[in-house]
């Protein structure tokens, strides 16, 4: 599976770009990719297969619109930057095993929040609350005691 482009890559800007630079890049991309204005066959230089293979300006334009909607708002941009940092950090962590959330033990905690646990080879457990996994397909979870990590997939929940 090829990686998705970030909103910054879609607009061709650096993550430290100012709002004015983002706005300029957005306007240039709109002129280039808008289905009514673009030259036929102009697509983003991307690894996203549906955009590259279809050659449809509407796909590229939708990516540009999504990038603008997030990056123009300071709060949304900060949340997005945090998500990018988390993804980058998790991709750099080596994990020892992969499990499905359904393979973990479940404990009901106060206020209806569930805690998922799985034994680690050191004798302690990997612990994950359902709020930590909310909205994600998977999450790298550290052991509470040692340096081991597991990748927990949310599939089937």
Residue 69 scores a pLDDT above 90: yes
Q: Phi-psi category of 73—alpha, beta or left, where left has phi over 0 and alpha has psi -120 to 50?
A: beta
Least confident interval from 24-28, 100-104, 129-133, 150-154 = 129-133
Q: How confident is the model at residue 40 (pLDDT cuts 50, 70, 90)?
A: low
Confidence of residue 3 (pLDDT cuts 50, 70, 90): low
**Does the pLDDT value for residue 2 go beyond 80?**
no
CATH 3.40.50.300 holds for 7-91: no
pLDDT category of residue 157 using cuts at 50, 70 and 90: very low
Domain ranges of the chain: 7-91, 93-153
**Proportion of the chain above pLDDT 70, given as a percent:** 81
93-153: CATH class = alpha beta
Rounded to the nearest 5°, which phi and psi values hold at 107? -120, 135
* Better-scored residue on pLDDT, 34 or 65: 65
Confidence of residue 90 (pLDDT cuts 50, 70, 90): low
pLDDT on residue 47 = 39
Q: Are 25 and 11 in contact (CB under 8 A)?
A: yes
- CB neighbours of 105 closer than 8 A, spacing ≥ 6? 116, 117, 118
Q: Do domains 7-91 and 93-153 have the same CATH topology?
A: no
**Those residues with Cβ within 8 angstroms of residue 55's Cβ, 6 or more apart along the chain or in another chain:** 41, 43
Higher pLDDT, 54 or 127: 127
**Are 136 and 153 in contact, with CB atoms under 8 Å apart?**
no
């Amino acid at each position: 599976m090829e990686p998705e482009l970030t909103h910054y890559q879609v607009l061709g800007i650096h993550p430290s770009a100012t709002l004015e630079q983002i706005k300029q890049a957005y306007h240039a991309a709109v002129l280039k990719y808008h289905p009514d204005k673009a030259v036929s066959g102009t697509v983003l230089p991307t690894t996203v297969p549906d955009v590259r293979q279809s050659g449809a300006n509407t796909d590229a334009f939708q990516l540009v619109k999504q990038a603008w909607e997030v990056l123009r708002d300071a709060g949304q941009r900060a949340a997005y930057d945090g998500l990018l940092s988390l993804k980058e950090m998790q991709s750099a962590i080596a994990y020892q095993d992969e499990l499905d959330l359904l393979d973990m033990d479940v404990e009901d905690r106060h206020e209806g929040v569930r805690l998922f646990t799985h034994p680690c080879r050191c004798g302690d457990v990997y612990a994950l609350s359902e709020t930590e996994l909310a909205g994600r397909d998977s999450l790298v979870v550290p052991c509470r005691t040692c340096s081991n990590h597991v990748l927990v997939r949310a599939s089937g929940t």
